[in-house]
């Protein structure tokens, strides 16, 4: 059976995102699998998986908003900015729950965040984490990120440990946020746990573990786990074709479009009778609908 769908996987701790894809290739017996939004081995939670024709959508997914639950410890600095790294420095801690809440307010909204050394970002053609492992530190780029939700859920002053919930844009480094928070509080801080609870519109409650997925596949009961290929594309408006238009679209034809409610160069989800066909771009200048991705579920 050919699978063309999206799956929300709850990534286990200790796995890379590629490890998950490799395991799923064996479980689903297909090579056409990809993922959206990389998670570090330390992290758990929502890892959107694309299977079959859905892999064509990787560069078009509306995945700008993500939510995380992160645990942190004050008074400790590591080279990776998380608990998996080598402890470089420790400091005394004398802060209250209110101090932390007040310090977090600074990070609501847009700001430029420095990419950490232990990251896959390339500088002069080399990945930063490779340079970091050699003991090298280079000037790193700053990226514009946006945090729209930032809450302190709890803080234990005896253990100097707490938990935050972060709603942010794609590319935000939570461990860097925690490191900066520690500096603002006059001490060090490191991330000790991270769980992504929302990504690409998929909530943690909608995900399955690798074991659950493997069991469902073995029992032939995995259809209800699969999400439609257009699940990630809800931000794009819908456009419905007639049967005649559907036949032409399916053969790669450019269609006329006279609907003025659409914007020039806007991407649309194209359907026929409820069936998702693919994505098309509006060309108002020539009153045409041009195919961007032809999928046909």
Active site residues: 40
- CA–CA gap between residue 99 and residue 95 (Å, rounded): 6
């Amino acid at each position: 059976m050919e699978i063309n769908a999206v799956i929300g996987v709850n990534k286990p701790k200790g796995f890379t995102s590629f490890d998950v894809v490799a395991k799923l290739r064996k479980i689903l017996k297909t090579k056409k699998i990809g993922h959206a939004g990389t998670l570090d081995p330390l992290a758990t939670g929502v890892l959107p998986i694309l299977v079959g024709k859905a892999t064509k959508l990787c560069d078009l997914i509306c995945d700008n908003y993500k939510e995380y639950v992160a645990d942190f410890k004050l008074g400790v600095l590591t080279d990776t900015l998380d608990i998996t790294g080598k402890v470089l420095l420790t400091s005394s801690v004398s802060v209250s729950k209110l101090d932390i809440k007040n310090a977090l307010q600074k990070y609501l909204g847009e700001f430029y965040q420095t990419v950490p050394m232990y990251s896959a970002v390339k500088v002069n053609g080399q990945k930063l984490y490779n340079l970091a492992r050699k003991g090298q530190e280079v000037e790193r780029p700053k990226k514009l990120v946006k945090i729209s939700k930032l809450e302190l859920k709890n803080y234990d002053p005896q253990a100097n440990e707490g938990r935050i919930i972060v709603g942010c844009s794609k590319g935000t480094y939570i461990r860097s946020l925690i490191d900066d928070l520690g500096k603002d509080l006059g001490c060090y801080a490191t991330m000790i746990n991270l769980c992504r609870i929302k990504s690409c519109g998929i909530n943690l409650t909608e995900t399955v573990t690798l074991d659950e997925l493997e069991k469902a596949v073995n029992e032939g009961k995995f259809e209800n786990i699969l999400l439609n290929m257009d699940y990630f594309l809800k931000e794009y408006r819908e456009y419905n074709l007639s049967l005649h238009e559907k036949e032409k679209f399916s053969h790669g034809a450019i269609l006329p479009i006279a609907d003025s409610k659409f914007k020039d160069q806007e991407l649309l989800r194209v359907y026929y009778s409820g069936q998702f066909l693919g994505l098309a771009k509006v060309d108002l200048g020539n009153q045409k609908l041009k195919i961007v991705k032809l999928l046909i579920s």
